Amino acid sequence: MPIHIEAKEDEVADIVLLPGNPERAKYIAKKFLDDPKLYTSYREMYGYTGTFNGVKVSVQTTGMGVPSTAIILEELNMLGAKTLIRVGTCGALKEGLEAADLLIGQSAATAGTTINSLTDDITLAPPADFELINNLYQSAIKLDMPVHVGQIVTSDYFYGKSDNYIDGLKKLAEYGVLGVEMETAALYNIAAKYGLRAATVLTVSDHVFTQVRADKDKIQQGVDRMTEMVLKTVTK
């Protein structure tokens, strides 16, 4: 048994949704899964397995940031998970992205040291699994959901709002980076390390430069719609 996810291999599904927030994991399991069973609660990093459309699916909390997410992903790999989809929120960096829009991360840049120490002599920028993000994109379009696909950046510093940090994000925006969050670089790098399928789908919660934040209900509705779309797509 891994150290942090207190589960046996057969308790975790091949398909795992990955919210950062433990309460969101609990909420997703209870709202969307049939017969959800809690398989781990250690450190309140709740993980549940149930079914959706008759297909076995798990929902596992990652916590906030790359170090916490990397522990969870290494352990999900030990437990045999194969398809990993982060469902989270992000700050928008480009005009044209509105609150509650969807953003699918094609790849995730990061200046963080945890993931950049994974390979000693090369800096990797592994992409999402193409088939997975293509299916997710097609589903979003069919459901008439506003959706954007492109590069994102994984930051280690949510409150890094100094002039220097903001200038750095503006430069990234000029290079086409659409949004900022805190976990996907861990997901795409660790998926590359073990040959797993990975994707990140985000709901825009705020705009970083204007500091306009959507109200909680709007974010919640966006996250619900996103989660349902992801579950329908990966269990088809």
What residue type is 35 in one-letter code?
D
Which residues, 6+ apart, have CB-to-CB distance to 79 below 8 Å?
2, 5, 7, 8, 9, 11, 12
Tell me the site size for ligand HPA, rule CB under 6 A: 11
Residue 91 in contact with ligand HPA, rule: CB under 6 A? yes
* CA dist., res. 136 & res. 106, Å (int): 12
Smallest distance from ligand HPA to CB 159, Å: 9
Catalytic residue, chosen from 101, 144, 156, 206, is: 206
Q: Which of 69, 106, 155, 233 binds ligand HPA (CB under 6 A)?
A: 155
Q: For residues 62 and 89, which CB has a smaller minimum distance to ligand HPA in the complex?
A: 89
DSSP code of residue 127: B
| Cβ pair 91, 211 in contact under 8 A | no
Q: Which of 90, 104, 201, 229 binds ligand HPA (CB under 6 A)?
A: 90
206 is catalytic: yes
Which residues, 6+ apart, have CB-to-CB distance to 153 below 8 Å?
93, 108, 109, 110, 169, 172, 177, 179, 180, 181
Residue 89 in contact with ligand HPA, rule: CB under 6 A? yes
In the complex, the residues that contact ligand HPA under the rule CB under 6 A are: 89-91, 155, 158, 180-182, 205-206, 208
Q: Which residues are catalytic?
A: 206
